[in-house]
Structure 1
Amino acid sequence: MTSDPLAGLDDVPWAQLQHSYGKADDVPGHLRAMQAGDWEGQYPPSAQLANHIVHQGTRSQAAVYTVPFLVRMALDPRLVNRHRFVALLGSIAIGLGNDYLPNGYDPREDRDYLESVRGEADDRARWIAEATDDEQRKQREESCEQVLIDAEAAVSSYDAVREALPALAVLLTSDSPELRAETANLFAWFPESASTSIPLLKGFVADEATPGAAATGVVALGLLGDPVVVPFIKSYLDSPVVELRWASAFALTRLGIVDPAVVDVLIQVVARPPEKTETMSFLSGCYGSLAEMALAETS
C-alpha cells in the first residue's frame, strides 16, 4: 500500500467529470477531508461526498474515479472511521442498498439497461431530429447524453468496487467491529463473486464475537442468494443470540425457506426487536423493520 492513499488524486481530470451538482472538481477536497478526519457541519465528509457522487442512488460519472482512493483509505490503519469509507464503496457499487432489501442486488439489471440504452441510438437520433427548434434540440441531446452517462456509470462503478473485493477482504478481520460489519455488508451485493465471498463470510460469522456484526454476515450470505449456504444459515436459527436467530430467519426467507420455525422467529423479532447498533448496517440496524420485510415475502 502506498504511504499516501490519495497519491495521484490530482492526476484525475475532475473538472471534466460530472457529479450530481455539476463539475466534479470539488471531489478532491471531500476526499482529503475524509483522510484528515475533518468534519464541519452536520454531516461527515463521507456523507457529503456521497451526496455529490451517488445522489439519491444515482451513480455519477465521477463515482468510479473515487474507488481506488476510497479502497486505499479503507485499508489504511492510520485513518479513523474507515467503516464509512467502506459504506461509501457500497453506495458507489449499487446506489441505495435499502432499495434492494430483502431480496438482494442483481447486477444483470443494470447491465441489461445499459445495453438497451446503447441499442436505442437510432431512436434517440430520430427523437432529437424531430425537435421543433434549436433549444429543444439541445435539451434532447443533453437528456440523451445524460441517460447514457448514468447507465455507464452504474455498471462501471459496480465493476470497479467488485474488482477491489479481494483487497478489502482483509478488513473482515480488522480490530473494529463496525469496519468488519460494514465489509460483510459490502460483500452481500456481489452475487457474481459468491463463490469466493461465501467461504470468507462463513469464516467471519463463525469467528465473530459481536452479535450485530455476526448477524450482518449471516444476512450477507442470504442476500448472495446461493442455496449452498442454507445448512450453515439454518444452524443459527435456534441460536441463543437473538440477533443470530433473526439473521438466520431473514436470510432463509431470501433463499425461499419459510417454514413455521422461520416465521415464528421473525414474528418474535417484530414484537421485541434487538437494540439498534452500528454493527448491523442493513436498513440502519432496524431489526424489526427488516423482519417485517421478510415476513411480507412469506405471504
Structure 2
Amino acid sequence: MFDGIDDIDWVRLGHAYGSAGDVPGLLRALRSPDEDERHTAFGALYASIFHQGTRYEASAYAVPFLLELLADPATPDRELVLYLVTVLAVGHDARWLPQGVPVVELRRAADGGRELLAAKPPPWHGDDETRKEYVEYTYVESLDEADQQRLWAYIELAVYDAVRAGVPLFRDLLTDADPGLRAGAAYALAWFPQDAAGSVPALVAAAEAAMEVHEGRRRPPWWRPGCSGPRPTPRCCPIRGR
C-alpha cells in the first residue's frame, strides 16, 4: 500500500492552501482505525485538492493512491473514497450535466498548459505566514486570460485522466456487496463514455444480477426506462442495492 508515495516531491506540488506536503499523511490517515481521524483527513483532502470544485497540481498525483485505497476491501469508508475520486474527475457535476464532460474540447483547451504548469514556482511552505498562498496565485494572475484557461484546463484534464485509469476497478465494484459502492461505481462510470464498450455490458450484467433477487424477476423500483433497450447507457442505469 502507498508504494512510491514518498518518491513524489509533494512539497513542490501545490493545492488550495499552498504546499501539498501534508497530502501523504492525509492519504495514509484514510486507513486509520480511528473514525474521527479518517473523517478529518477526508475533510482536509476535500478542501485542499478539491477546493470548492477546483482541482490543483497535487490532485492528479493523489488519485492513484486513492484508487489503491478504494481497491482494498480492508479500507474503511470506501464509499467516501469513491466519492472523492469521482468529484476529482469532474468537479461539480452540475457544470457538465446533461451532456457530460467535453473531453475533446478540454484536450484542445489544455494545449500548452503543461508548459505553463512546469514554469510555476514552488508553492509556499514553512513558517513564514506572510508568504502563504501568494507565490502560486501571483504566478497564475501574471498570466493572461488565455494562458490561465490553458493552465486550468490542463490540470483538470490531468486529474480526469488519472481517475479514468480506475474504470476497470469501478466495473468490479458493480458487484460489490456494499450497495453504496455499487451505486457510486455506476455513477462514476457514466463520466467516461469513451469506455462505454466495456462499461455498458458490466452495468447491464450488474442490473440483471440485481433483478435475480426479486421474486418473479420483477423490475425493482430503481430500474429506469431505457435500461432494457438496445443501447442502454450508464447514466440511465443506476445500480442500487436492495
Q: TM-score, normalised by structure 2?
A: 0.72
Q: Does 1:60 align with 2:61?
A: no
Instruction: Give the root-mean-square deviation of aligned CA atoms.
Output: 3.5
Consecutive aligned runs of 4 or more in structure 1 exceeding 3 Å deviation: 37-44, 116-120, 138-142, 145-149, 239-242
* CA gap 1:153/1:210 in 2 versus in 1, 3 angstroms: farther
Aligned to 1:17: 13
Aligned to 1:178: 180
Q: Deviations over 1:3-38 (max 9, x none)?
A: xx2222222111000111111111112111111154
Aligned to 1:35: 31
Q: Deviations over 1:93-138 (max 9, x none)?
A: 1111233233322222322221386899xxxxxxxxxxxxxxxxx9
Q: Does 1:243 align with 2:237?
A: no
**8 Å contact from structure 2 (residues 110, 151) kept in 1:** no
Describe how 1:107-146 pairs up with structure 2 within 5 A. 107-115=103-111, 141-143=139-141, 144=143
- Which residues of structure 2 form unaligned runs of 5+? 117-135, 233-238
- Return the structure number with greater relative CO, CA threshold 8 A, min gap 6: 2
Larger radius of gyration: 1
Which residue of 80, 89, 95 corresponds with 1:93? 89
CA distance in 2, matches of 1:118, 1:60: 13
Q: Deviations over 1:126-164 (max 9, x none)?
A: xxxxxxxxxxxx987532276544222111111111122
CA distance in 1, matches of 2:75, 2:139: 44
Tell me the percent identity.
Answer: 32
Aligned to 2:192: 190
Which residue of 200, 204, 212 corresponds with 1:202? 204
Q: Does 1:169 align with 2:171?
A: yes
Aligned to 2:123: none
SS of the residue 2:225 aligns to: helix
Q: TM-score, normalised by structure 1?
A: 0.59
CA distance in 1, matches of 2:69, 2:194: 25
What letter corresponds to residue 192 of structure 1 in structure 2?
A: Q
Q: Deviations over 1:35-70 (max 9, x none)?
A: 115443895532431221111222110011111111
CA distance in 2, matches of 1:63, 1:41: 21
Count of residues in Structure 1 that have an aligned counterpart in Structure 2: 206
Report the CA distance between 1:208 and its aligned residue. Answer: 2.3
